[in-house]
Chains A and B, each alone.
Chain A
Amino acid sequence: MSDIKITVIDREGEAHVVEAPTDMNMNLMEVIRLHELAPEGTIGICGGMAMCASCQCYMLTHDHLLPEMTYEEEDMLDQAFFVKDNSRLSCQIPITNELEGLEVKMAPSNEE
């Protein structure tokens, strides 16, 4: 088992350093949920299909190491709010060894 460390800044602005397994076929949204860094029902609403934007994060590092955006992800970010140039849907970011030290900030929730 191998874990990497990721820093997640939650919607309140608090930074959390969490461990993320690279061998569990997990994505970043699932890691954030696993550590309960956002209330249930405000993240990963579609389950991780890039069909809602509740897991939007701003990627603060590792820009060049992230997978390219799929059409679906781009599509969805198009409908989302608070979108910036470094916005990604965290459900579309698989946890891999290259992402050791990744820092992300969760976008505000539009679900109140």
Chain B
Amino acid sequence: MFNKISKKLLLAPIAAAVMAFFPVAHAEDTIKVGVLHSLSGTMAISETTLKDTMLMLIDEQNKKGGLLGKKLEAVVVDPASNWPLFAEKARELLTKDKVSAIFGCWTSVSRKSVLPVIEELNGILFYPVQYEGEESSKNVFYTGAAPNQQAIPAVDYLMNDLGVKRWVLAGTDYVYPRTTNKILEAYLKSKKVAKKDIMINYTPFGHSDWQSIVADIKKFGSAGKKTAVVSTINGDANVPFYKELGNQGISAENIPVIAFSVGEEELSGIDTKPLVGHLAAWNYFMSVDTTKNAAFIKEWHDFIKNPKRVTNDPMEAHYIGFNMWVKAVEKAGTTDPDAVQKAIIGVEYPNLTGGMSKMLPNHHISKPVLIGEIQDDGQFVTVWQTNKLVDGDAWSDYLPESKPIIADWTPPINCGNYNTKTKKCSGQNY
């Protein structure tokens, strides 16, 4: 340890001297940022956009003069939608490329695969996608929505504003929908919704024959009570699902569907006519009318050189996460993970929808919740939004097993899963 520091101390003046003589920054003098998003395979559809977003943000920061007087350098790797490869590539980024922070992952399973590596090597990961919660690692910063920043407000909206009495929880069969639906079911029951008024349904990835399920939903919804579908259906399966809804005559006016995984990017590849009026809950919509957002969209179009490309929620999450990291590094005066982890808590950065997001002690951020209706141009019209930002909650209060657990990475607790009843930090690191 001492050796390392003394080496660094020795090197610093030399580096400065070299910099003075050579105006072009040498590779050694850059701060490396890892970008860990799939560029091939099934997830490439969504993740390629995030890679481009990161390149744009880094490019922009360099134009502003870099960070701590150094240029930022992106190290892009391709984990190819292969979960074990995510862990390997993360290890490569941290040990070989020695990146200061990693921005990456989309699916929960890829994050879970990276987690042990990033904790072992004490790296920093910014995770930009809405997820099921029930996790808080010392080394991960969750800039996407936790369930209480997306699912719970969405259900509240349906219940209070649309008067929904019967609920269909439909999802793809994997960890995010299962956990989210478990939380939602507990939440609905706490709101006195009877068991017979909740229908839960899981389908395989890429499911395309929705006839009987949609017919069931129709039957379930025609019992005289207002019914809504809360959809955690992922990816490709959405198109045939919405098509079948349209064909069987279910419109958003009689049974609205609220989706947590359908954003502008997903809508750009499909015929949106049958979807008009259905809902989605996010923390950002491209249609939000703020000057910050307009500037961001313009910058994105200029960078990607295609004025038809859309922006979406995970892009905003990276925007916030990256800028918070920049602020934290400036505050700490170093990119050392421990210092940055300490410095970033409490850092504030304006989000694109007009609020000021803040990094919380549980490594989640505060965000507004927006509910939008799909329009036929593939954009959303905001029909409801929280009047202030909602703090991300790592451990859901609606599941009995995680109710007493909190995450707080500030002293004296310094723990990702601290049980407030037993006053103990669980043995796990997250």
A, B assembled together: no
